[in-house]
Amino acid sequence: MPGGEASTFFNLLREVFVTMKLAAFLAVFFVFVNLSEQIPKLINCPPNYTMTESMKNGCGTMECVGPGEMRGVGCGTYRCADGKQIGYKQKDNSKVYPECCGGPICAD
C-alpha cells in the first residue's frame, strides 16, 4: 500500500474500533438499566400484570406460576435466642430480595 492508502486504512480501522467500544459500552449500560428495572419483583409474569403500591414498597418476590396463579415470598420474622441479639439490620427496599430484608442480628 502506498502511504496515503495505509493512512486511510488505519484511520478507518481506528473508527471501527471506536465504534465497537461505544457499542460494547452501550450494551453493558443497557444490561444494567434492564437489571435495575427488574428489581420490582414480578417474575415470569405477563406484561399486563402490574404491582400494587404495597408490592413496590415491599421486600420480596412474586412469581407467576400458571394462569391466574402467583407464588409470593417475603421476609420472615424471627427472634434471636435470649441474650444473643447483637444488632439490628434495617429493611432496605433499594436492594433485591433477600438482601432487602431487615431483622435482628444474632450471635452464633
- Three-class HEC string of the chain: CCHHHHHHHHHHHHHHHHHHHHHHHHHHHHHHHHHHHCCCCEECCCCCCCCCHHHHCCCEEEEEEECCEEEEEECCCCCCCCCCEEEEECCCCCCCCCCCCCEEEECC
| pTM of the predicted structure, to 2 decimals | 0.51
Band of residue 58 on the pLDDT scale cut at 50, 70, 90: confident
User: How much is the pLDDT for 28?
Assistant: 56
